[in-house]
């Protein structure tokens, strides 16, 4: 084996990390599809991986990782032009990353993982149900109202000033904070594969993943571009499940599990969920 590779999955709660890992394990174990990485062995108990993969195959809601159930997965893989290597993929809780934002600190364990990381996959869920920037702006305009006086709501009544909470911080600001934590502690230039999960929710917009991030999260896009000396990045659209659960469950179960996976990079579409990891390791 060559030197081990350590891929760190980061993202907020519900951003798709565990679902991605479940689909990845199914694909690698199945070994029947054309992928950039091939499984040659496993260094840990398969129980956890088999559990989340079974939930994924059944189109059930894959249970999110919490602070008490964080897992460390070590896979022996062989990659196109990458050779054979050990791939360590920790499945960390989104709540742990949210705690970094609220408490302004991280655990020694997480810091050690950052120090060892060969590359990082940053997950963001499009959450289109909450609307785009334009719909949010219109909603804010309607709430404020053109004739509203300072301290008044849209109905003319005095509006209470609600206390600050982490929920009020825009997603792209949270992600920038997570990246800043990462860059402060990383001992070398970092490769970041940004994954827009649940890509099936936004692919109808007719934009590439890179264009989607530029349009919907311009502040994050600017941060990534302006820190090119500290990080190198690529953007992927990944639908690990292929649709919404439970709304699309019946239709999804009628499709071969491997065919449900959608991966988009630029104008190129495939079913190869190993692509973001393979990209991270190209210059290892």
In a domain, 212, yes or no: yes
For residue 152, what pLDDT is reported? Answer: 47
Q: What is the mean pLDDT of each run of 10 residues along the chain (284 residues)?
A: 77 87 90 82 78 91 62 81 81 69 74 85 77 53 53 52 73 88 87 94 91 93 94 95 89 91 93 93 76
The closest alpha carbon to 231, from 85, 134, 119, belongs to 119
User: What CATH number does residue 31 fall under?
Assistant: 3.40.50.300
What beta strand segments (E) does the chain contain?
5-11, 37-42, 71-79, 83-91, 119-124, 190-197, 231-239, 262-265, 268-270
Check if the beta carbon of residue 29 is closer than 8 Å to that of residue 104.
no
Residues in CB range of 144: below 8 A, 6 or more apart: 154
Query: Could you tell me the end-to-end alpha-carbon distance of the chain, in angstroms, rounded to an integer?
Result: 14
Residue 48 resides in a domain: yes
In a domain, 233, yes or no: yes
- Is residue 138 in a domain? no
DSSP string over 236-249:
EEEESSSS-TTTTH
- Model-wide pTM > 0.85: no
C-beta of residue 113 within 8 angstroms of C-beta of residue 6: yes
Residue 204 in any domain: the answer is: yes
Q: Is residue 51 included in any domain, yes or no?
A: yes
Domain count, the chain: 1
| Burial status of residue 55 (CB atoms within 10 A of its CB: 0-12, 13-18, 19 or more) | middle
Domain-located, residue 142: no
Distance CA 173, CA 12 (A): 12
Please give the residue range of the domain that contains residue 109: 5-129+165-280
Q: Is residue 156 part of a domain?
A: no
């Amino acid at each position: 084996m060559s030197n081990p590779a350590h891929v760190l999955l980061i993202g907020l709660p519900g951003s798709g990390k565990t679902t991605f890992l479940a689909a990845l394990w199914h694909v690698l174990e199945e070994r029947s599809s054309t992928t950039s990485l091939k499984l040659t062995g496993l260094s840990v108990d398969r129980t956890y991986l088999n559990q989340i993969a079974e939930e994924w195959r059944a189109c059930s809601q894959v249970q999110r990782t919490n602070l008490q159930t964080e897992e460390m997965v070590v896979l022996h893989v062989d990659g196109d032009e990458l050779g054979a290597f050990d791939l360590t993929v920790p499945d960390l809780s989104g709540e742990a990353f949210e705690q970094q934002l609220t408490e302004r600190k991280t655990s020694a364990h997480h810091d050690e993982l950052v120090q060892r990381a060969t590359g990082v996959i940053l997950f963001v869920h499009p959450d289109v149900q909450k609307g785009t920037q334009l719909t949010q702006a219109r909603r804010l305009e309607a709430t404020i109202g053109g004739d509203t006086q300072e301290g008044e709501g849209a109905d003319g009544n005095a509006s209470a000033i609600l206390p600050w909470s982490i929920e009020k911080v825009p997603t792209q600001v949270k992600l920038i904070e997570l990246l800043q934590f990462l860059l402060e502690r990383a001992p070398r230039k970092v490769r970041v594969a940004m994954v827009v999960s649940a890509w099936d929710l936004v692919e109808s917009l007719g934009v590439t993943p890179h264009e989607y991030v530029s349009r919907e999260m311009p502040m994050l896009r600017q941060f990534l571009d302006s820190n090119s000396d500290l990080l190198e990045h690529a953007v992927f659209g990944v639908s690990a499940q292929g649709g919404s659960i439970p709304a699309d469950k019946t239709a999804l179960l009628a499709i071969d599990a491997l065919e449900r996976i959608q991966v988009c990079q630029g104008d190129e579409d495939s079913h190869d969920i190993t692509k973001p990891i393979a990209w991270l390791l190209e210059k290892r």
